[in-house]
Amino acid sequence: MVRSLKNPKKAKRKNKKGSKGDGSSSSSSAPSLPTKVWQPGVDKLEEGEELQCDPTAYNSLHAFHIGWPCLSFDVVCDTLGLVRNEFPHTVYFVAGTQAEKAAWNSIGVFKVSNISGKRHDLVPKAAAGDDDMDSESGDSDEDSEDEREGGSGSPTLQLRKVAHQGCVNRIRAMAKNPHICASWGDTGHVQVWDFRSHLNALAESEIEASQGASQVFNQTPLVKFGGHKDEGYAIDWNPVTPGRLATGDCKSYIHLWEPASDSTWNVDPKPFVGHSASVEDLQWSPTESDVFASCSVDGTIAIWDARVGKSALTSFKAHNADVNVISWNRLASCLLASGSDDGTFSIHDLRLLKGGDSVVAHFEYHKHPITSIEWSPHEGSTLAVSSSDNQLTIWDLSLEKDEEEEAEFKAKTKEQVNAPEDLPPQLLFVHQGQKDLKELHWHNQIPGMIVSTAADGFNILMPSNIQSTLPQTVA
């Protein structure tokens, strides 16, 4: 398990990035050399060299922070449109801090607007043999902010803080009622909050909030549950039955919450028991209201049905180390992804559980603990992974190595990018530049947008090779 942010300090953004897939790194001491893809853990920087971001690798890339580092955050569903593809974008979030002192913590409810960007061609027109050479210089990587598609200037951050006693281990907003959020605190309490007034205030305001002078609101939670025997990290709202919640703790217990009204919940005092160590994460089935999965430090994943008692329906060994995170595919509900402390992540086909081995894909690219994993809500074969190796990777499981296609691409780009030969063909993109990555989420309403949190703040990124517009299921 890897969770805590060590020696938290106020975040400072450092603009040294490398990206892989469509991204690359270059040497500041030898700018005339061909662009070379940086391989984390393999390549080393020579004296005088530094990683640089290739802006053409991203349709949009922005960084920000809200003060103290955040171990967890969630994207808040809004009413601005179910599928939004045009810049500039506006997004809403909730995030919990990891402050130096317990009394300094808060939940940030915030809005980021004027997220600008520009869609880049996967193969540069000039490199593909475009006859209009004038467009090569006019459409170069040196485009100014004012020339970017759909907006100019920097994004605007508006922030409202709600006091929270102790650090926030994990926070989740309810998709059906996005103003309702649940937080897991290191004090051992799970709290449910109503942030309607804060979200409404942000929606009505266009004034940028000063991060240092932002007022901290003292608000009473709707529910404060202290029935867990220890702190925890596992928490998830049911996507089928609004208001139903499950929470798991470091003593291996899971409690079920049932909504009694819009503002009250009944928590079953009798826990679900089956894991022999800490429950690290849990996820409800995207299609069955009573079924959920959990993962544990004991190396297993368990499947539960709330209708048939407090014992797991089935449990299976998923990794040879702690299972830190899981993600249930909402577009292909037979698939469950899991990430481990040993850096590996696996894809399980739940239809194969009776046969004994459910693993249909296993990746050993990352060499440090997996800290977050999530399927794309728009592409059933695509998922994103973050690791303690300071990399965020995006994968498409439908891809296979195609020698002819690869040769054609190299011919079109005229070897402008010298990509490593041993990368898995399913690896779409590598994002770097954040330190101690903790959690990532796709934006459900903006295809291709990923948000990530780390010790040094947040990134909003839209890789140029993630071009989806509508949900695509896996057959």
Residue 146 lies in a domain: no
Residue 145 lies in a domain: no
Select from 263, 255, 336 the least CA-distant residue to 293: 336
Q: Which residues have a Cβ under 8 Å from the Cβ of 131 and sit 6 or more positions away?
A: none
Residue 417 pLDDT: 57
Residue 450 lies in a domain: yes
Residue 144 lies in a domain: no
d(CA 258, CA 306): 11
**How many other C-beta atoms can be found within 10 angstroms of the C-beta atom of residue 368?**
17
Single-letter residue type at 440: L
Residue 96 lies in a domain: yes
pTM reported for the whole predicted model: 0.86
For strands 156-163 and 216-217, give the pairing: parallel
> Which residue range(s) make up the domain with 388?
19-127+156-463
CATH of the domain at 432: 2.130.10.10
Residue 351 pLDDT: 96
Residue 47 pLDDT: 83
Residue 290 pLDDT: 98
Percent of the residues in the chain that have a pLDDT greater than 90, as a whole number = 70
Residue 214 pLDDT: 66
The DSSP result for 331-400, as a single string, is: SSTTEEEEEETTS-EEEEEGGGGGGS--EEEEE----S-EEEEEE-SSBTTEEEEEETTS-EEEEETT--
Residue 5 lies in a domain: no
What is the residue-level pLDDT of the chain in tens, covering all 475 positions?
Answer: 766 563 333 332 233 333 333 333 333 344 455 666 667 767 777 887 777 888 889 999 999 999 999 999 999 999 999 999 999 999 999 999 999 999 999 999 999 999 999 988 766 555 444 444 343 333 434 444 434 466 677 899 999 999 999 999 999 999 999 999 999 999 999 999 999 999 999 999 877 665 444 689 999 999 999 999 999 999 999 999 999 999 999 999 999 999 999 899 999 999 999 999 999 999 999 999 999 999 999 999 999 999 999 999 999 999 999 999 999 999 999 999 999 999 999 999 999 998 789 999 999 999 999 999 999 999 999 999 999 999 999 999 999 866 666 666 566 655 555 666 678 999 999 999 999 999 999 999 999 999 999 999 999 999 999 865 555 666 5
Are 193 and 162 in contact by the 8 Å Cβ rule? The answer is yes
> Across-strand partners of 383?
375, 395
d(CA 281, CA 338): 10
Select from 412, 407, 406, 418 the least CA-distant residue to 33: 418
Q: How many domains would you assign to the chain?
A: 1
Residue 8 lies in a domain: no
Residue 151 pLDDT: 65
Helix (H) or strand (E) holding 137: helix 134-138
Residue 14 pLDDT: 31
Residue 475 lies in a domain: no
Are 437 and 387 in contact by the 8 Å Cβ rule? The answer is yes
Are 352 and 360 in contact by the 8 Å Cβ rule? The answer is yes
